[in-house]
Amino acid sequence: MLILFSLAKLFRNCLFVLSLFSTKSYASKNLKEVNLYSYRQEFLLRPLLKAFESTSKIKVNVVTMKKGIIQRLKAEGKNSPADLVLTADIANLELLSKEGLLQKLNLKKVEKNIPKDFRDPKGYWVGLSARARIIYYSKKRVNPKNLGSYEDLMSKKFKGRICSRSGLHPYNVSLLSSLVFHHGEAFALNWAKKVRENLARKPQGNDRSQVKAISEGLCDISLGNTYYMGKMLEKPSQREWASRTGIFFPNQKTSGSHINITGVGITKSSRNVEGARKLVEFLTGSLAQHMYGQVNHEYPLKEGVPVSGIVKSFGANQLGITNGYFKRDLKALVKLSELRSKSIKLLNKAGFE
């Protein structure tokens, strides 16, 4: 009996030691991995993440979602596996911060890399790249000299000539928020109604779909992000119809073209804060910023990092636009988050869909 008791005790001790070993091994493994929740499609991120993995030896696991990241993080609470969150809209970055889902970065390298216009004043997130929401137009049917501003899209001269993706997509909500900031809610509501009346078809598809529609003669102009044009021009299956479409930067004589940013923050629940910080530092550094410009055709936020050759050609038919650089609407950028809910209500009231 005594022998059986001793054997049982020895077995329990062995299990305890094995358990400790397993736990330490798991923790050690986790320190070599970071988990990223992302609103951005993984194909846009993977080249950058591969570069990070090769230099840091830290693996990046990506969970891509079209919506619901904030709700998921709140539901998971302190048990969330996410170490970082990356989103393509400043409004989401602000909301993540306000919901208490992020921790302060406190990274001197990041502050040195990215200008303060693109960093959270409270220190919870940092911008990584920018894009402008510009006007795509048919080179065959539209003279860019007849284009001017977002406000001009209300004109009856564009009746039946505009294509658009969903008005409630974050890209368009963000644009309307900028109009609320500059002109007030009444004007923004009227703008949404007038643009809806000028649509050639029901809102549908994505930004690339609108360029294809312009090429096929279904409409003459649309709104879209700059980097999509870069991606289309380098893709053989899309290059032909993208080459028939020009880019115009609106509001260069007034507030500047509407911009938004991609940004990242470290979750409060992160179990690998050190690895997460290394990834944030990498994404704001010269190599990643160069890749944002050359691979994704976005506007790097680190000063001195060049845009791609394709982006340099943007605005070639527009006075004042050289090497792809343009007057940006930085004043509205910091207000987009707080105006988001109002803009969604205005779009619904206008019956944009």
- Residue 181 pLDDT: 98
Structure tokens at 316: 């070639």
- Residue 204 pLDDT: 97
- Residue 10 pLDDT: 39
Amino acid letter for position 81: P
Cα angle value 338/88/164 (rounded, 5°): 85
Residues 219 and 314 reside in one and the same domain: yes
Backbone CA torsion sign across 337, 340, 341, 342: positive
Helix (H, G, I), strand (E, B) or coil at 332: helix
Q: Could you tell me the residue range of the domain that residue 160 belongs to? A: 132-257+309-350
CATH number, domain with residue 192: 3.40.190.10
- Residue 324 pLDDT: 86
Residues 99 and 173 reside in one and the same domain: no
| Per-residue pLDDT of the chain in tens (353 residues, 90 and over written 9) | 433 334 344 334 433 333 322 333 333 346 799 999 999 887 778 899 999 999 999 999 999 998 899 999 999 999 999 999 999 999 999 999 999 999 999 999 999 999 999 999 999 999 999 999 999 999 999 999 999 999 999 999 999 999 999 999 999 999 999 999 999 999 999 999 999 999 999 999 999 999 999 999 999 999 999 999 999 999 999 999 999 999 999 999 999 999 999 999 999 999 999 999 999 999 999 999 999 999 999 999 999 999 999 999 998 888 888 888 999 999 999 999 999 999 999 999 999 98
Residues 201 and 243 reside in one and the same domain: yes
Residues 63 and 156 reside in one and the same domain: no
- Residue 44 pLDDT: 79
Residues 291 and 209 reside in one and the same domain: no
Considering only CA atoms, which of 171, 126, 104, 175 is closest in space to residue 332? Answer: 175
pTM for this entry: 0.87
Residues 250 and 280 reside in one and the same domain: no
- Residue 156 pLDDT: 96
C-alpha dist (Å) from residue 8 to 18, 20, 22, 90: 15, 19, 21, 59
Q: Residue 235 — φ and ψ, nearest 5°?
A: -100, 115
29, part of any domain: no
Residues 171 and 157 reside in one and the same domain: yes
Residues 157 and 92 reside in one and the same domain: no
- Residue 30 pLDDT: 60
Please say whether the beta carbons of 227 and 189 come within 8 A. no
- Residue 342 pLDDT: 97
Residues 46 and 90 reside in one and the same domain: yes
Considering only CA atoms, which of 306, 281, 343, 323 is closest in space to residue 55? Answer: 281
Domain total of the chain: 2
